[in-house]
Structure formats: structure tokens, C-alpha cells
């Protein structure tokens, strides 16, 4: 009998973190592993941001911070939302957290009661369903396919809403598919939400700046639902700041106060030095962000061409983020060396063992037909990785 709570026993381990760990362990044994499992920019944090952190230490900014973040950081977020997204928020509506991950957990734990339903389009980022479990809510999935570019329709949304629905959670640009909802598509969903005034919307916009088609569109732009939207965003992807741990919610004041209270009991404000770096990032302009985006777009085009040439993979051209989510069902039931591939997770393990390329099986993203390939890696590594994937898949008969 486990001494641990049912809460933790029922929680799945983060598959992205697990695969990254397996890749690292294999590499530690001397194997030349190419890791395309972790969603993490391979760039360094820009210099002006690191300088601000050094200064913060020299100024002895090493004390507890206000739980929701330094006022000037929250004001910098307000200015960003106005200037980049044309959205009006007051600084009391911003809660800065230890990564967007905590921002999501705060919002879900503050909104969802046991038994309430949370609608999540599949495939989704692995932590969404797990944090709903922690809140004792019930995830209700809307399935999408590569043919519909992994985007739900207003009709699908309408059909999923019940009197028990409390929250809808999605990301655009999307992890793991790279799909980006257009303004018109978001408006279609917003009109459905307008008919259901008790449903809240968690809009995860952390890949906002890694968008190859157009300017970023937020579902919060539709005034008639804005008060029910919780925007999630952060610095990890745009500024290559994954290790700094900083993200935020922008929401109505009631939810913001609740997130502040929740965070005050669990972690308090995120690292003081990180927060100074966060201000520098927002005040320093988008030059480095645009450079990184251009690099990601180039890599996307290279990888797309190479993946499209692999027989049996069904892959779409992602409009944003840095992932491919190819359908791999044509390999199910095929074997190599006495091992038969039953599902996408097994294929992902096969690719790690046979090709020494770490990816993530789709099951934890709520879609067991596909694997996720992150292309946040150097071009030569990506080219070599896809060559190895092609070779390993070719062995399956
Ligand atoms: N949302 C999505 C869609 C993500 O891919 C991630 C992973 N970085 C996060 C939130 C959490 O980001 P972080 O905690 O690093 O800010
Ligand atoms: N979000 C990234 C990913 O999807 C980082 C890992 C994580 O935070 O789970 O790979």
C-alpha cells in the first residue's frame, strides 16, 4: 500500500520531462542522442536581459518580492498587452508566477470545483489534463485531426458545452501541433462563449512570438467575453528564458486576487532577480525575439521538407511554435528485430533506442496517433535527426 495520496498516485508524470530525462540518461552513457523531445529554445538568453539580472544582484535585490510581482514588472506587462495586443488591463489584473506552468495551475485551481468540466481540444499540452486532475475537475476532450489542421470548429465547441462546463483551455500557437487560430476562427469560438456566460476561457499564448503567418491574435480581443478570459503568457519561449521561471496571468480582478492568494500559500513571488530580468526583456524591444523567430521559421521549412519525404508520416505545416506532430499510425503493427510497434509511445521509444533521437509519444498530449518532434535545435542536428528517423522507420516491416 502506497503512503502517498490518491491525488499524486493519479497524476501522470510529465511526458515531455520524462522523455528529456531518458534522452539525457542515454547521452550520459556516451550515446550520441539528438534531443527533440523538450520544448525549449536552444538560444541563449539575450545579453541585455542577463545584464539586468547581474545588476539586480549587485543592488541586493535578493529579498522576498510582492507575491504577484514587482509593481513595475506588472506595469511592463500591462504596457506590453496594450502595445503589442491592443488589450487594456490594469496592473492589479496581472499576477506574475514561477513560469506559465504555475500561472496555469493557479488559474485552474482557482476556477474549477470538483466535478466541474474543463473542455480541452486534443492534442493539448501535457500538463493541462493533469492540473485539471489536481483540481478534481473532469477533462472533456474535443478531438481534432491533422486534416482539420488540429483546430476545433464552433460547432464542436457548442456540442461539448454542458451545464457543468466551467472552463475551456487551449493554446494558440499550439503545443504540440503548431496550429495558430486566425482572428476569424477565434471570433467563431467567442460567439459560442457569448451564449454561455458561465464558461471561462484559459488562453495560453506562450508561443505568441513564434508565429510565422501573421500578427498574434488573442481571444481576449472580443470585448463581450474578455472578462472571462484568462491570458497565460511568459518569457520562456519568446526570450529563451526557460530556466528563469517567469510567466503571468492577465484576468479579471477577482481571478487575479484569487491567483495572488493561491500563490501566496504555495510559492510566493517568483525569484527577485528573474523579475528584474523580466522587466529588461519587456522594455528591451523585440529585436532578439524576431531573430529567433526567423531562425525557427527556417528550421521549420527545412524539417517540413525532410519529414514530408518520409513514407508513412502524415505531417502538416505548422504555422507557429516549434513542433511537428506527425501522424504515425501507418507504422503500428510493423516490426523490427522481433519488436512490434503497437502505438505512438512505443514508436517514440523505438526512435530513441534505434535512431538515438528523442521525441515524445502523443498519448500524453491526448492523441495516441502521433509523435511530437521539437525543432528547437541547430539546423545540422535537425537534418541528422530526420535522416536517422527516416532510416529507423524504413527498417519497420
Ligand atoms: N504552456 C505551454 C503550451 C507550454 O508549452 C509550456 C512549456 N514551456 C508552458 C505553458 C509552460 O512554460 P513555462 O512554465 O516555462 O513558462
Ligand atoms: N513546455 C515544454 C514542452 O512541452 C517544456 C517541458 C515542460 O515544461 O513540460 O516540452
Q: What is the pLDDT of residues 148-186, one digit of tens each?
A: 999 999 999 999 999 999 999 999 999 999 999 999 999
224 and 310 fall within a common domain: no
**pTM for the complete prediction?**
0.96
State the chain's maximal CA–CA distance in angstroms.
63
Q: Cβ contacts of residue 194 below 8 Å, gap of 6+?
A: 222, 224, 225
Ligand 2 centre distance from Cα of residue 40 (Å): 7
91 and 197 fall within a common domain: yes
Are the C-beta atoms of residues 175 and 324 closer than 8 Å to each other? no
Quick one: average pLDDT of 60-75? 98
Q: What is the pLDDT of residue 214?
A: 75
Is 17 touching ligand 2 by the criterion CB < 6 Å?
yes
- Any idea what the CATH number is for the domain that residue 386 is in? 3.90.1150.10
**Of 11, 20, 40, which is best to mutate to test ligand 2, by the most ligand atoms within 8 angstroms of its C-beta?**
40
Q: What is the pLDDT of residue 1?
A: 73
Q: What is the pLDDT of residue 12?
A: 92
Q: Is 225 exposed, middle or buried (0-12, 13-18, 19+ CB in 10 A)?
A: buried
136 and 207 fall within a common domain: yes
Quick one: average pLDDT of 39-68? 97
195 and 249 fall within a common domain: yes
CA 127 to ligand 2: nearest atom: 9
Give the pLDDT confidence of 381-396 residue by residue, as tens digits.
Answer: 999 999 999 999 999 9
Q: What is the pLDDT of residue 254?
A: 98
Mean per-residue pLDDT over the chain, rounded: 96
121 and 242 fall within a common domain: yes
Give the pLDDT confidence of 279-307 residue by residue, as tens digits.
Answer: 999 999 999 999 999 999 999 999 999 99
Q: Is 14 exposed, middle or buried (0-12, 13-18, 19+ CB in 10 A)?
A: middle
226 and 328 fall within a common domain: no
Query: How much of the chain exceeds pLDDT 90, in percent?
Result: 95
Give the pLDDT confidence of 318-368 residue by residue, as tens digits.
Answer: 999 999 999 999 999 999 999 999 999 999 999 999 999 999 999 999 999
Tell me which residue range forms the domain holding 141: 63-284
Is 175 touching ligand 2 by the criterion CB < 6 Å?
yes
Residue count of the chain, please give it: 397
240 and 306 fall within a common domain: no
- The domain total for the chain is 2
Quick one: average pLDDT of 28-40? 93
Amino acid at each position: 500500500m502506497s503512503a502517498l495520496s490518491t491525488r499524486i498516485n493519479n497524476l501522470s508524470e510529465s511526458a515531455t520531462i520524462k522523455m528529456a530525462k531518458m534522452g539525457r540518461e542515454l547521452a550520459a552513457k556516451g550515446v550520441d542522442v539528438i534531443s527533440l523531445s523538450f520544448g525549449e529554445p536552444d538560444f541563449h538568453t539575450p545579453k541585455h536581459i542577463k545584464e539586468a539580472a547581474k545588476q539586480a544582484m549587485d543592488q541586493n535585490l535578493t529579498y522576498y518580492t510582492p507575491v504577484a510581482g514587482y509593481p513595475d514588472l506588472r506595469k511592463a506587462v500591462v504596457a506590453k498587452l496594450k502595445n503589442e495586443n491592443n488589450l487594456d488591463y490594469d496592473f492589479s489584473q496581472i499576477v506574475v508566477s514561477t513560469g506559465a506552468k504555475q500561472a496555469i495551475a493557479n488559474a485552474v485551481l482557482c476556477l474549477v470545483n470538483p466535478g466541474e468540466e474543463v473542455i480541452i481540444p486534443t492534442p493539448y499540452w501535457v500538463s493541462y489534463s493533469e492540473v485539471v486532475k489536481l483540481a478534481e475537475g473532469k477533462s472533456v476532450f474535443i478531438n481534432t485531426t491533422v486534416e482539420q489542421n488540429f483546430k476545433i470548429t464552433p460547432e464542436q465547441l457548442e456540442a461539448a458545452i454542458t451545464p457543468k462546463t466551467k472552463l475551456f483551455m487551449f493554446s494558440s500557437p499550439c503545443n504540440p501541433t503548431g496550429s495558430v487560430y486566425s482572428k476569424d476562427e477565434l471570433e467563431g469560438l467567442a460567439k459560442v462563449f457569448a451564449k454561455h456566460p458561465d464558461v471561462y476561457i484559459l488562453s495560453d499564448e506562450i508561443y505568441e512570438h513564434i508565429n510565422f503567418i501573421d500578427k498574434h491574435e488573442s481571444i481576449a480581443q472580443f470585448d463581450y467575453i474578455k472578462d472571462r478570459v484568462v491570458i497565460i503568457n511568459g518569457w520562456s519561449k519568446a526570450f529563451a528564458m526557460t530556466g528563469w521561471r517567469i510567466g503571468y496571468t492577465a484576468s479579471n480582478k477577482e481571478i487575479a486576487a484569487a491567483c495572488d492568494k493561491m500563490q501566496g500559500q504555495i510559492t510566493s513571488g517568483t525569484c527577485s532577480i528573474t523579475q528584474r530580468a523580466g522587466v529588461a526583456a519587456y522594455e528591451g524591444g523585440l529585436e532578439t525575439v524576431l531573430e529567433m523567430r526567423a531562425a525557427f521559421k527556417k528550421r521549420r521549412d527545412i524539417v517540413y521538407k525532410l519529414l514530408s519525404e518520409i513514407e508513412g508520416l502524415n505531417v502538416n505545416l505548422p504555422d507557429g511554435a516549434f513542433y511537428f506532430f506527425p501522424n504515425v499510425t501507418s507504422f503500428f503493427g510493423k516490426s523490427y528485430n522481433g519488436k512490434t510497434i503497437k502505438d505512438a509511445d512505443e514508436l517514440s521509444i523505438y526512435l530513441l533506442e534505434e535512431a538515438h533521437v528523442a521525441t515524445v509519444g502523443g498519448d500524453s498530449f491526448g492523441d495516441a496517433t502521433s509523435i511530437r518532434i521539437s525543432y528547437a535545435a541547430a539546423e545540422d542536428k535537425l537534418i541528422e535527426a530526420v535522416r536517422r528517423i527516416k532510416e529507423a522507420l524504413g527498417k519497420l516491416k
